[in-house]
Amino acid sequence: MKIGIIGIGFVGLSFAAVLGSKGYEVLAIDSDQDKVKKIIKGNTPFYEPSLSPLLQKALKKSLEVSSNTEKAVNECNLIFITVGTPTTSDGNINLNSLKAVAKTIGQTLTNSKNKPIIAIKSTVIPGTNHIIKQIIEKESKKKSGKDFGMISNPEFLREGKAVDDTFNPHIVVIGGEDCKTINKVKKFYEGFYKSTVPYITTNTQTAEMIKYANNSFLATKISFINQIANICQSIPGTNVDDVAKAIGIDPRIGGQFLKAGPGYGGSCLPKDIKALISFSESYGQSPTLLKAVQTANSQQVEILVSFMNKVLTSLKGKKISVLGLSFKENSDDTRESVSINLIKKLLKHKVKIIAHDPMAIENTRKIIGDKISYTKSIVEALKDSECVIIMTPWKNYTKLNNKDLKLMKSKIIIDTRRLLTKKKLDAKYFAIGLGSSN
Ligand code: UDX
């Protein structure tokens, strides 16, 4: 069986590298030729732990990378579409890339003897699979279910853990219109995973909805615990991590995604909840809970700025060190990063910022430019600083000690991820979700 993967972002590249490293014949396609050239040389276009060596292994074995979509349509039995589906400014989902791919697939199928299964992995609003099917049918003048197959197969991998999540997914969701096509895709996955991964087979629109419900629920858990954290912070001695640990033991709640912090960011959670709100409103629904989750998330950073203003008496002219720029640890991704959002807000208060991140400085520079200073040394970041705020839970920040703080002008630490709660630091220490007596 030959596998096609169209769109080499996080999902596409992780999937291609994992399958290729196991000897599956894979043809990965991207329209960006510079990106393709880089990947062919074994370089990943973004930082993702363990992905680079896996990609190199896959390229040596059975992974081919190119910009030739037609080749994938003519030669592959199963084609996964993993192109980006960003949101437009009004919150709707932008399907342009997906539609363009569908058009090329349809046009190529017209004169092809191949009968591939097309599986959409990109996150798309319910009903999209049907729209894509219609485009392919119109362009090819062929019939889905007879000349090609259509499947919705959402992906749940996380950045920073993409390789592990691709090898060990918690679920495989397969949505389709006919049992034969669904079973073929299920058989492919069963052959690969050979373990007890739960499978959910359903229709395409339900599969599409599962992904939105999943990400929206994760966002809800985070906003919930962030609100509890804010309440804890006003009760001296209270610790949100103990609260989260205890409620997470209740199997009806579950322990994951209960780490309070500055709010969720990244390329998925904010985008997906926005798209679900916009989609449900177009059907006359009032998604009040989802909107509240979104509001709670955007308020979290505002609360932080007010808190900093209070702790520092005034923000104006202060020198502040920001530790962590990526939206999460083990990633260089700054899309919808709360840290970047915080920096933008602090700059409005005429604050001088020096920022540190092990991986995300280049991506931050593309957004913020030279309005702030950057350093790869934590000690340098803290020199002459009047306040340090930890935004991203990089492991390195847990090692921060009194020696590192020595050159600070005034020793104030704001720890949004509670990395330093157990340390005896010679500083004024504040953390989200810790009720302090100050
Ligand atoms: C998310 C989903 O988890 C994944 O299933 C989907 O395929 C893509 O979107 P990702 O965006 O990579 O993955 O990151 P995730 O680990 O979900 O974190 C998102 C944001 O939430 C980060 O900013 C993170 O710091 C924050 N977060 C996460 C918390 O603040 N607290 C938590 O307990 C968990």
Q: What is the DSSP string of 398-419?
A: GG--HHHHTT-SS-EEEETT-S
Q: Whose CA is nearest to atom 14 of ligand 1?
A: 158
Exposure string (b/e) for 316-339, b if CB count within 10 Å is 16 or more? eebbbbbbbbbbbbbbbbbbbbbb
Q: Compute, in angstroms, the gap from residue 214 CA to the centroid of ligand 1.
A: 11
Tell me the one-letter amino acid at 129.
N
Task: From 124, 170, 222, give the residue whose CB has the most ligand 1 atoms within 8 Å, as the site to mutate.
Answer: 222
Distance (angstroms) between ligand 1 centre and the Cα of 264 equals 7
The per-residue pLDDT for 195 is: 76
Question: How far is Cα 181 from Cα 179, in angstroms, rounded to an integer?
Answer: 6
Count of beta carbons in the 10 Å neighbourhood of residue 257: 17
Residue 243 neighbours by CB under 8 Å, 6+ apart: 228, 232
**Which atom of ligand 1 approaches the CA of 156 most closely?**
7
Q: How far apart are CA 99 and CA 83, in angstroms?
A: 10
Q: 408 CA to middle of ligand 1, Å?
A: 32
Q: Which of 434, 418, 414 is nearest to 306 (CA)?
A: 414
Collect contacts of 50-53 with beta carbons under 8 A, ≥24 apart.
Answer: 50/163, 50/164, 51/13, 51/14, 51/17, 51/162, 51/163
- Ligand 1 centroid to Cα of residue 159, in Å, is 8
Three-state DSSP state, 38: helix
Token pair for 331? 């990633």
Q: What span, in angstroms and rounded, lies between the C-alpha atoms of 3 and 23?
A: 11
Mutate which of 10, 304, 328 for ligand 1 pocket (most atoms within 8 A of beta carbon): 328
pLDDT at residue number 437: 61
pLDDT value of position 90: 82
Q: What is the pLDDT of residue 136?
A: 98
Cα-to-centroid distance, 405 and ligand 1 (Å): 30
Q: CB–CB of 253/247 below 8 Å?
A: yes
Probe residue for ligand 1, chosen from 153, 211, 218 as the CB with the greatest number of ligand atoms within 8 Å: 218
Q: For residues 108 and 114, is the Cβ–Cβ distance under 8 A? A: no
Q: Mean pLDDT in runs of 10 for the chain (438 residues)? A: 97 98 97 97 95 98 97 98 91 93 98 97 97 98 97 97 96 97 97 90 98 98 98 96 98 98 97 95 97 98 97 96 98 97 97 98 98 97 98 97 96 98 95 84
Ligand 1: distance of its center to the CA of 158 in Å?
7
Catalytic residue, candidates 76, 179, 232, 268:
268
Among positive and negative, which fits the CA dihedral 312, 315, 316, 317?
positive
* pLDDT tens profile 268-313: 999 999 999 999 999 999 999 999 999 999 999 999 999 999 999 9
Residue 237 is predicted with a pLDDT of: 94
pTM: 0.96
Ligand 1 pocket: which of 158, 334, 336 to mutate (most atoms within 8 A of CB) = 158
**How many angstroms does the Cα of residue 306 sit away from the middle of ligand 1?**
25
Going by C-alpha positions, the residue among 40, 28, 85 that lies closest to residue 212 is: 85
Which residue's CA is the nearest one to ligand 1's atom 7?
A: 156
Residue nearest to ligand 1 atom 25, measured at CA: 328
**pLDDT for res 89:** 81
Sheet bearing 25-29, strands edge to edge: 63-66, 25-29, 2-6, 78-81, 117-120, 149-152, 172-176, 199-202
Backbone angles phi, psi at 139, to 5 degrees: -70, -35
76 is catalytic: no
Q: Which residue lies with its CA nearest to atom 2 of ligand 1?
A: 158
Measure Cα distances from 289 to 138, 216, 217, 269, 276 in Å: 39, 10, 10, 15, 12
Give the helix/strand (H/E) hosting 319.
strand 319-323
Measure 47 CA to ligand 1 centroid, in angstroms: 16
Residue nearest to atom 5 of ligand 1 (CA): 156
At 438 the pLDDT is 46
Residues with CB under 6 A from ligand 1: 155-159, 215, 218, 222, 257-259, 261, 264-266, 268-269, 327-328
Residue of minimum CA distance from atom 33 in ligand 1: 257
What span, in angstroms and rounded, lies between the C-alpha atoms of 259 and 319? 28
Between the CA of residue 43 and those of 6, 32, 357, 361, 386, what are the distances in Å? 18, 14, 21, 19, 40
Q: Whose CA is nearest to atom 1 of ligand 1?
A: 158
Cα distance between residue 192 and residue 14, in whole Å: 15
- Of the candidates 103, 69, 80, which has an alpha carbon nearest to the alpha carbon of residue 174? 80
**Ligand 1 atom at minimum distance from 269 CA:** 9
Dihedral of the alpha carbons of 335, 210, 8, 330, in degrees to the nearest 10 = 50
Q: Ligand 1: which atom is nearest the Cα of residue 214? A: 5
Ligand 1 atom showing the smallest separation from residue 329 Cα: 25
